[in-house]
Amino acid sequence: MQSTSFSVGSKGMNGIFVSFEGIDGAGKSTHIHTLAKCLEQQGRVVTLTREPGGTPLAEQLRVLVLNEPMDPMTEALLVFAARREHVCQVIVPALARGEVVLCDRFTDASFAYQGAGRGFDTAILSQLERWVQGTATFSGTAGEHAFVQPDLTFWFDLPAQVAASRLTNARSPDKFEAQSKEFFDRVSQGYALRLAADSQRFARIDANQTQDAVWNAVQQVARGRGLLQ
């Protein structure tokens, strides 16, 4: 296990940026909240947030993206527009204050859902990623930093079939949750590609285990990376 210390964030800001990914039904939400509590008990200030969303405007965009049928490029532009607001208003300021940012989904979700799932052009997604996460145009605290990217990304990997059976009893499905098993197989492949391209950043968690076993795996990674004591 890599034992990189996060005492100084890799982007020159003091905070630590952690994202959580996986197909719908992979079970990441419980673990994000538990990790937030553990970090707070250890004296860290935590900003717990999500995408699409995290600001009033981005939450409005979330409602549209999750519920309205739209052209794939419109969808991609809206998730990145929401991200830009979120990065500028919430993530960069929290990192500059030295906080731990725990973010339920980030750009890997756009590559997995819009890219691999929908088949939208990943070259355009890469360009949007550079624009939206590039800090050259940020005013204020993070002006001199090049790029906002998670220091650590947990990928909760679960077969689409198992995730679907977990979602069966859930509330009425949104636009994505209603997609086919084949769609989610492609989304998982999209996450696998992102991991292959940036394996240092990613921690793959086998989510096809009991909740306790998944939490143990999360804790082990968090300790190994110096996030949890």
The residue count of the chain comes to 229
Smallest distance, ligand TYD to C-beta of residue 76, A: 8
**Is residue 110 near ligand TYD by the rule CB under 6 A?**
yes
**Is residue 189 near ligand TYD by the rule CB under 6 A?**
no
**Is residue 19 near ligand TYD by the rule CB under 6 A?**
no
Distances (CA, A) of 139 to 15, 83, 132, 135, 146: 18, 16, 13, 8, 13
Using the CB atoms, write b or e for 1-23: b if 16+ within 10 Å.
eeeeebeebbbebebbbbbbbbb
Between 208 and 220, whose beta carbon lies closer to ligand TYD? 208
Between 167 and 228, whose beta carbon lies closer to ligand TYD? 167
**Is residue 161 near ligand TYD by the rule CB under 6 A?**
no
- Tell me, residue by residue from 49 to 78, as one string, x for binding to ligand TYD by CB under 6 A and - for no binding: --xx-------------x------------
Distances (CA, A) of 136 to 96, 128, 144, 146: 15, 14, 7, 6
Q: Label the pairing between strands 100-104 and 46-50.
A: parallel
**Is residue 176 near ligand TYD by the rule CB under 6 A?**
yes
- Contact positions vs ligand TYD (CB under 6 A): 24, 29, 51-52, 66, 79, 104-105, 109-110, 113-114, 176
